[in-house]
Amino acid sequence: MTYQFVEGTVDDIVAVLAFVPEFGNSIKATTIAERLAGKSALILVAKYNKTPIGFKVGYSLNHDEFYSWLGGVTPQHREMKVASQLRQMQESWAVAQGFKAIKVKSMNQFPNMLHMLIASGYHICGYDNNGSTMNSKIAFIKNIAQA
């Protein structure tokens, strides 16, 4: 049994979201398609035995910046570093496309994500106050420009 990492589709994202409890089935295919419409986007999917078990999706903000919008991994595959592998693939793709930075937002309610971002060289660059520390968003940026 092996993991496979491929470019995927909105349907792959929806298949994974059904098993990621943090999202509570709150994100629909139409929401994803509308967010990506007209943008340079990348959908990466992790599969286990040909079944989607994780994803990472992002899109261009402008010529220099890529936004890592959404990602998730089914609970039973989280200890296999699937999210880290998807992040690394997304970063490599963004470098190859000529982006100079990747931006991402997360929240205190996702401490594993916050730890992964900081450990991976992302720097805090902003804060969106949404009324409570658990629902407010912490903005990160990582410079990926080649020297």
* pLDDT at residue number 124: 97
Q: Is residue 76 classed exposed, middle or buried when 0-12, 13-18 and 19+ CB atoms within 10 A define those classes?
A: exposed
Q: How confident is the model at residue 24 (pLDDT cuts 50, 70, 90)?
A: confident
Average pLDDT, the chain: 94
147 pLDDT above the threshold of 60: no
1 pLDDT above the threshold of 70: no
- Sign of the Cα pseudo-torsion (118, 80, 84, 25, in order): negative
* pLDDT at residue number 145: 85
Distance from CA of residue 69 to its chain's centroid? 5
State the average pLDDT over residues 50-60: 97
Lowest mean pLDDT: which of 24-28, 41-45, 46-50, 66-70? Answer: 24-28
Q: In the chain, pLDDT over 90 holds for what percent of residues?
A: 88
Q: 């792959």: which residue's tokens? A: 12
State the average pLDDT over residues 29-55: 96
DSSP states of 14-25: HHHHTT-GGGTT
Could you tell me the two tokens for 139?
């903005």
pLDDT per residue as tens digits for the range 84-123: 999 999 999 999 999 999 999 999 988 989 999 999 999 9
- Entry pTM: 0.93
Secondary structure of residue 92 in the 3-state scheme: helix
